Amino acid sequence: MTELKGRLLCNEPLAKYTSWRVGGAADQLYIPFDKQDLCEFIKSLPKDEPVFWMGLGSNLLVRDGGIRGTVINTKGRLKDMRINDDGSVYVEAGVPCAHVARFCAENGLVDAEFLAGIPGTMGGALKMNAGAFGGETWRIVKNVEMLNVTGDVTLRDPKEFSVSYRSVKSANNEWFLSANLVLETGDSAASIQKIKGLLETRAKTQPTNQPSCGSVFKNPEGDFAARLIEATKLKGYSIGGACVSEKHANFIVNTGNATATDIENLIKYVKRKVQYIHGVELQTEVCMIGEAISD
Ligand SMILES: Cc1cc2nc3c(=O)[nH]c(=O)nc-3n(C[C@H](O)[C@H](O)[C@H](O)COP(=O)(O)OP(=O)(O)OC[C@H]3O[C@@H](n4cnc5c(N)ncnc54)[C@H](O)[C@@H]3O)c2cc1C
Report the CATH number at residue 195: 3.30.465.10
Residues with C-beta less than 6 Å from any ligand 1 atom: 19, 52-60, 74, 93, 118-121, 123-125, 127-128, 130-132, 175-176, 206, 208, 212-214, 287
Say how many Å lie between the CA of residue 164 and the centre of ligand 1.
Answer: 15
pLDDT at 1 over 70: no
Q: What is the pLDDT of residues 137-162, one digit of tens each?
A: 999 999 999 999 999 999 999 999 99
Q: What is the pLDDT of residues 96-111, one digit of tens each?
A: 999 999 999 999 999 9
Whether the full predicted model's pTM is greater than 0.85, yes or no, is yes
Has residue 250 been placed in a domain?
Answer: yes
Has residue 1 been placed in a domain?
Answer: no
Q: Are residues 64 and 118 in the same domain?
A: no
Q: Are residues 105 and 155 in the same domain?
A: yes
Q: Are residues 67 and 94 in the same domain?
A: no
Q: Are residues 183 and 120 in the same domain?
A: yes
Has residue 108 been placed in a domain?
Answer: yes
Name which residue sits closest to atom 12 of ligand 1, judged by CA.
Answer: 130
Q: Are residues 50 and 95 in the same domain?
A: no
Q: Is 140 exposed, middle or buried (0-12, 13-18, 19+ CB in 10 A)?
A: buried
Q: Are residues 27 and 88 in the same domain?
A: no
The mean pLDDT of 7-24, rounded to a whole number, is: 98
Host domain of residue 281: 225-289
Domain boundary among 32, 48, 73: 73
Q: Are residues 163 and 196 in the same domain?
A: yes
Domain boundary among 52, 73, 94: 73
Say how many Å lie between the CA of residue 72 and the centre of ligand 1.
Answer: 14
Q: What is the pLDDT of residues 247-293, one digit of tens each?
A: 999 999 999 999 999 999 999 999 999 999 999 999 999 999 999 99
Catalytic residue set: 166, 215, 285
The mean pLDDT of 76-93, rounded to a whole number, is: 98
Q: Are residues 233 and 199 in the same domain?
A: no
**Distant-in-sequence, close-in-space partners of 255: CB < 8 Å, separation ≥ 6:** 210, 238, 241, 242, 243
E strands, 122-251, where?
A: 131-132, 135-136, 141-148, 153-156, 162-164, 167-169, 174-181, 184-185, 238-239, 242-244
Report the CATH number at residue 241: 3.90.78.10
Q: How many residues does the chain have?
A: 295
Overall number of domains in the chain: 3
Has residue 49 been placed in a domain?
Answer: yes
Say how many Å lie between the CA of residue 151 and the centre of ligand 1.
Answer: 23
Has residue 130 been placed in a domain?
Answer: yes
Domain boundary among 73, 90, 105: 73
Q: Are residues 94 and 157 in the same domain?
A: yes
Has residue 215 been placed in a domain?
Answer: no
Q: 109, 184 in Cβ contact below 8 A?
A: yes
Q: Is 51 exposed, middle or buried (0-12, 13-18, 19+ CB in 10 A)?
A: middle
